[in-house]
Amino acid sequence: MEARLQYNATDVKPHKASRPSAGQLLCTKMAASASALVAVLLAAGYAALASPATTHTVGGVHSWMTGVDYAAWASDKTFAVGDKLLFSYVRTDHTVTEVSRSGYDACSGGDARSEDNNSGLTTVTLATPGAHYFICVVPDHCASGMRLAVNVSAAPPGAAATTSGAAGGGLQVPVTVPVVVAAAAATGALTKLALL
């Protein structure tokens, strides 16, 4: 005997959609807020990465020594706040000292804006816009051309910097910290909150 089932469309009751609980709504709002915050932080991070600081090796292949035309070397470079100057030299033979314009013109470290640095490898971060002057204070070296003048333009957008001491010297070296790190940290923390 074969049984046949009969189905009448009027026998089916419509399914009522359940309303989300307050906790589910809160999680949804937190997840949306977290996503928006992450998007903003990532955009800021990408903006910072789009304008990275440049490290200029002073003198190019010649480094920091007598007999190099540093004015010619600097003439085709653009320097911005946050850029770094890397001075490489024989540490027992030379120094790097930031001076005023008059100290630069007179080849005198008497009004030094930084301590003499003779570590052999000096990195200076250009922290302010305007003219910056550097000389070697070893007698006759500045007069022999061991001096550098650079004009620094305003910081590129999105650059953030903190300051730490330079290894082997008294010059202060700002270190750029990308915003992307903050975005990555925020993503993990806010995602955990949204899942609770």
What is the mean pLDDT of each successive set of 10 residues along the chain, which is 196 residues long?
56 59 58 53 49 87 92 94 94 92 93 79 94 95 96 70 36 39 42 40
- Cα 187 from Cα 174, distance rounded (Å): 27
- Cα 134 from Cα 34, distance rounded (Å): 47
- Cα 143 from Cα 105, distance rounded (Å): 9
Check residue 115 and give its pLDDT: 74
- Cα 72 from Cα 19, distance rounded (Å): 73
Check residue 23 and give its pLDDT: 61
The neighbour count for residue 90, using CB atoms within 10 Å, is: 11
Residue-range domain boundaries for the chain: 22-49+181-195, 54-155
Q: What is the CATH number of domain 54-155?
A: 2.60.40.420
CB 129 within 8 Å of CB 153: yes
Give CA 12 to chain center in angstroms: 65
pTM of the model: 0.56
Check residue 195 and give its pLDDT: 40
